[in-house]
Structure 1
Amino acid sequence: MLKLAIDKSMINSEQHVTFVNIKYKYMKFRHLVAVFGFLMTSLVFCQEKQITLQEIWSGEFRTEGMQSLHSMANGNEYSVLNFNRESRTTSIDIYDYKTLEKTKTIVSSADIAEIQYFSDYSFNKDESKIILTTKSEPVFRHSTLGEYYIYDIASKKVTKVSDDLVQEPTLSPDGSKIAYGFENNLYVKDLKSGKVEQFTTDGEKNKIINGITDWVYEEEFAFVRAFDWNANSDQIAFIRFDETNVPEFSMDVYGSDLYPTQHVFKYPKAGEENSKVSLHLYDINSKNVSQLKVDKAYDDFYIPRLKWTNEANVLSVQLMNRHQNELDLWMIDTKAMTSKNVLAEKDKAYIDVTFNLTFLKDNSFIWTSELDGFNHIYHYSKTGKLINQVTKGDWEVTNYYGFNEKKNTIYFQSTENGSVNRDVFSIGLNGKNKKRLTQKDGTNSASFSADFTYFINTFSSATTPQEYTLYDTKSGKIVKQIKDNKVLAKQLEGYAMSKKEFSTISINGNDLNMWTIKPKDFDANKVYPLFMYQYSGPGSQQVANRWNSANDYWYQMLAQQGYIVVCIDGRGTGFKGADFKKVTQNKLGKYEIEDQIEAAKQLGKLDYIDAERIGIWGWSYGGFMSSNALFKGNDVFKMAIAVAPVTSWRFYDSIYTERYMTTPQENPSGYDENSPINHVDKLKGDFLLIHGTGDDNVHVQNTMRMVEALIQADKQFEWMIYPDKNHGIYGGNTRLHLYKKMTNFIHKTLGDKLEMSKD
């Protein structure tokens, strides 16, 4: 700035006038500069808006999709659930793959007196009948109670499944009957006569469950319906859960009444007793229920999958030991009551259970496994003899789409084009003629027509929101664009969005995948606070070339406010081979934390990052990690936010925890040495702990015990409790409040001296 140093006593009148004019012109110049700067700033602001939390959580940036897409059996058409906002009715509409034109409406709630609208649908095997979902109430994460109707397409007749709210209604393949669960028992309804048969009677809450999984199976083996129809529609196989001796967990439900209530359910924590499971068969004709057994004695085992083969009397069932490092595939002949173990896998760590089991016409089967160190596709004979390893390479098969018998071709998704990308491929059953069917780098996923002539590809990347495109499977060429999100992309051009930069960082002998979001006006001559996000759970992935989640908009908002945001997938995460994923076995939280701490140290050495202002956050497993990072890395991290964290693996469920840690009785040091509750004495920085009291997954007990440990260690911290909210912490204004809380905490702990000059 120019400084005027003038002695007033030496100024005569002429000089004084000159000085006044100089001063006036200088002040006018300053005013003009200020006005120009304001106009320029306003212009930039108008051109590039700042993201707000209200916009994020009001759905302002929501993408459009295709709801409940189903490929029709003819291979030429697909169905979609459509909602008419004006009439508030729903319909199942049929579209032609080739033209993408709507050809007809199968059913509309406007034409059904009994139904105002339906929220979901499913066909039986020959597509003659449809189950329509009307009312639906959540039970746990995947399970629901609902009111259902059956629509007969030919007669247009509507039949209510039950006056009660039931679970998992499933039509028989021939469409003549429907089976469902109600109050822990199983029922079959004959759709012609309307007669209902209850074929289990011992079901009782918190004791016996028939055909519906218990809490821990639902959460960790990811299925709810534990019964299945055979091909002839005359037998139902089901799993029975005896959870009588499983310890109970209780949660207070505060609600709005004068007195709170309690939700009590069976929850086996690590090392505690699980449900005793058994396999049973109901014969429709004889009305007889019998137990199915295999020719091997198992002690404390799981039944994570059951599925009928193409032979009406042959049931496949997967049995797994409690350590989950041995998996047997059994074939049970339900007429002869004989069994054969056709496949036995063992692993030094654990085996992931999948749904990737497909039976061919000759009852040979396609299976996925990590046998060679990467997840690949295998073809076995019906007796379990290996015919061929179909896919090979230092990459992972991430989804199996199906088998085209006419072309003898398998379709799958993989990471062959880089672990952060996904592409759709075809390959011969003999492992030859592999072909990449998708064209763009990013995340591609396919929904194939029933005869595999076409597939609808869903594509997104870090720069492109979801696009839905019709492909010709044989040529791999695009037939037509179906739907895109160009309107959203155009809308976002008005915001100061930063590029998500993908790279790797060398940490502890490994090249770890990383993304970085910098302020759009990033200046390498300034220094910025660093805010790290991670999840880090076994087999997970956060660094992926796909479109934004809600959190990504939050990170963009933080970047707009002057933060650099980084995410790193460390050891133990997925899609880089079994050795990389399973290195954390028996020591959850050791290597993952070492990687995050070392990464923060390396990043803190960059000229433009302020090593004194590094923070980290995570949710669930990520909350476990962020807590540990702040405690064990107290010389690196200034702050941490932990949302719904596991604070000791002794508090978490048996199936998940023991898969990676065995039991606490066998591995006490593994449980205790890396659980943050045992390291609270190391806390130096700022810590925000958040939990919902209605979390049936990671119980609020984790936070309460952590709070008590922090108090007894005389450590100051902040915490927030959300009454009756589950593991997702949402509903009404909850998410907005949560993210305001976290944002304010970040500003308070990292936000001082934002974009501080290095000079």
Structure 2
Amino acid sequence: MKVKMKIVLAFFLLIISNISHSESAPTLFDANVIPHASVISHEDCFSGVFSSYKSWKEEMVFGKGIKELAFQQRFPESDFNQYKDTVQCYSFVYEVEQHLVKGFVLYPKGLLNEKLPSIIYNRGGNNVNSHTLKFGNLFFYHFPLALEGNVVISSQYGGAMVWPKNFKGNGGVDEYGGVEVKDVLALIPILDSMPITDPNRIAMFGWSRGSMMSLIAVTKTNRIKTLVLGATPVDLVLSAINRPSLEHDVFKRLIPGYEFDKLALLEERSAIYWPEKIPKDISILMLHGTNDERTSIVPVFKFADTMKSLGVNIELKEFPSGSHTLIESKVSVYRKVLSWFNEHL
């Protein structure tokens, strides 16, 4: 069963990690779409190879060797057409302290006179291209949540490998919970500039590394009303012990000064060491599989208990035998997430 699950996950990673908008031609820039001054360009997600289901499928099947039936099962044509017809989706480039960052923003069409809640989605992974957000990733949460009447926005984070080979600009750096947290916080004024957003209803939704980013971010702003966190690494000190490959391939490579001050740098990124910094008026939903082989649930129990003792409205939803991605429970996970946002946002 484990082998089968790994095959399924490998397929999903392959299918969502091979095509991005990084080398497609930009559309004519219209400052009214995302009117904040930091946004310097944007393009419709449904452009280029993504302009039709047929062209996307052909690229994946004939260009990437993906089985046609598997592609159609994961990305039904009916979903593609519904999202294209009802959700406005843009990839965009914005500037943060003189470096450029890529992101996505989605919102329902036809609701331009309403004030909608916003969800900042923080992705997992690190700076390698296969971990960055691709068009296929948006089918997991971005499109469904936008379809429900939310503005959904995401950052690729500075330092991400999302730029074409001939890119000569400053793409920032990824410090795995360091300076690139500013790239997430910079999304708030972008949301504020959009006439369809309600400035009093902003949530954050993170998975894995993205949950860590979310917890750090809420200690630096009072604008976030609620958090949804999946597979949260609340104790990176423990993660370094449990996963030597994570320490070698990510922590040592991305965190500046790691070899000189390892403990302090990991604690700075680990919410279990500073629970008192998290706003007491925020509500938090944590989702975690009991069989998560990448991020142990054990410190999450302790963290949730500590937050409760501090008076924070927090719920930990366990998924027995659940994996790191909880992809095997994706329907129940999405329903829980949607229910939480409907109640708390």
Matched, 1:674 2:261: no
Cα-to-partner distance string for 1:279-304 (whole Å, 9 max, x where unaligned): xxxxxxxxxxxxxxxxxxxxxxxxxx
2:320 to 718, 723, 726: 723
Cα separation, partners in 2 of 1:580 and 1:505, compared to 1, 3 Å: closer
Matching residue of 1:657: 247
1:507, 1:599 within 8 Å by CA — same for their partners in 2? no
Matched, 1:701 2:298: yes
Matching residue of 1:311: none
Matched, 1:739 2:334: yes
RMSD: 3.8
User: Which whole-Å CA distance do the structure 2 matches of 1:627 and 1:738 have between them?
Assistant: 20
Matching residue of 1:687: 284
User: Which whole-Å CA distance do the structure 2 matches of 1:561 and 1:414 have between them?
Assistant: 26
Matching residue of 2:197: 609
The higher-RCO structure (CA 8 Å, 6+ apart) is 2
2:58 to 451, 467, 477: 467
SS of the residue corresponding to residue 313 of structure 2 reads: coil
Matching residue of 1:351: none
What are the residue-to-residue correspondences of 1:623-634 with 2, within 5 Å? 623-630=211-218, 632-634=219-221
Matched, 1:138 2:37: no
Cα separation, partners in 2 of 1:612 and 1:678, compared to 1, 3 Å: farther
User: Which whole-Å CA distance do the structure 2 matches of 1:648 and 1:504 have between them?
Assistant: 32
Q: What letter corresponds to residue 245 of structure 2 in structure 1? A: I
Matched, 1:419 2:26: no
2:99, 2:171 within 8 Å by CA — same for their partners in 1? no
Cα-to-partner distance string for 1:292-325 (whole Å, 9 max, x where unaligned): xxxxxxxxxxxxxxxxxxxxxxxxxxxxxxxxxx
2:237, 2:263 within 8 Å by CA — same for their partners in 1? no
User: Which whole-Å CA distance do the structure 2 matches of 1:657 and 1:539 have between them?
Assistant: 15
Deviation at 1:738, TM superposition (A): 1.5
SS of the residue corresponding to residue 461 of structure 1 reads: helix
SS of the residue corresponding to residue 717 of structure 1 reads: strand
Cα separation, partners in 2 of 1:598 and 1:536, compared to 1, 3 Å: farther
Deviation at 1:491, TM superposition (A): 7.0
SS of the residue corresponding to residue 180 of structure 2 reads: helix
Q: What letter corresponds to residue 678 of structure 1 in structure 2? A: Y
User: Which whole-Å CA distance do the structure 1 matches of 2:264 and 2:321 have between them?
Assistant: 34
Matched, 1:567 2:154: yes
Matched, 1:510 2:76: no
1:628, 1:679 within 8 Å by CA — same for their partners in 2? no
Normalising by structure 1, we get a TM-score of 0.34
User: Which whole-Å CA distance do the structure 1 matches of 2:249 and 2:172 have between them?
Assistant: 11
Cα separation, partners in 2 of 1:530 and 1:462, compared to 1, 3 Å: farther
User: Which whole-Å CA distance do the structure 2 matches of 1:673 and 1:635 have between them?
Assistant: 19
User: Which whole-Å CA distance do the structure 2 matches of 1:462 and 1:703 have between them?
Assistant: 42
State the number of aligned residues.
Answer: 293
Q: Whose Rg is larger? A: 1
Cα-to-partner distance string for 1:413-443 (whole Å, 9 max, x where unaligned): 998xx62659xxxxxxxxxxxxxxxxxx999
Q: What letter corresponds to residue 238 of structure 2 in structure 1? A: F
2:109 to 506, 509, 520: 520
Deviation at 1:488, TM superposition (A): 4.7
Cα separation, partners in 2 of 1:705 and 1:420, compared to 1, 3 Å: farther
Matching residue of 2:228: 641
Cα-to-partner distance string for 1:679-732 (whole Å, 9 max, x where unaligned): 32222311111111111111112312322332343433122111121213244x
Q: What letter corresponds to residue 149 of structure 2 in structure 1? A: G
1:692, 1:721 within 8 Å by CA — same for their partners in 2? yes
User: Which whole-Å CA distance do the structure 1 matches of 2:182 and 2:79 have between them?
Assistant: 41
1:649, 1:657 within 8 Å by CA — same for their partners in 2? no
**Structure with the bigger percentage of helix:** 2
Q: What letter corresponds to residue 247 of structure 2 in structure 1? A: T
User: Which whole-Å CA distance do the structure 2 matches of 1:490 and 1:648 have between them?
Assistant: 41
1:539, 1:573 within 8 Å by CA — same for their partners in 2? yes
**Structure with the bigger percentage of strand:** 1
Q: What letter corresponds to residue 106 of structure 2 in structure 1? A: I
SS of the residue corresponding to residue 656 of structure 1 reads: helix
Any gaps of 5 or more consecutive residues in structure 2? Answer: 11-16, 26-43, 253-257
Normalising by structure 2, we get a TM-score of 0.71
SS of the residue corresponding to residue 86 of structure 2 reads: coil
Cα-to-partner distance string for 1:42-71 (whole Å, 9 max, x where unaligned): xxxxxxxxxxxxxxxxxxxxxxxxxxxxxx
SS of the residue corresponding to residue 741 of structure 1 reads: helix
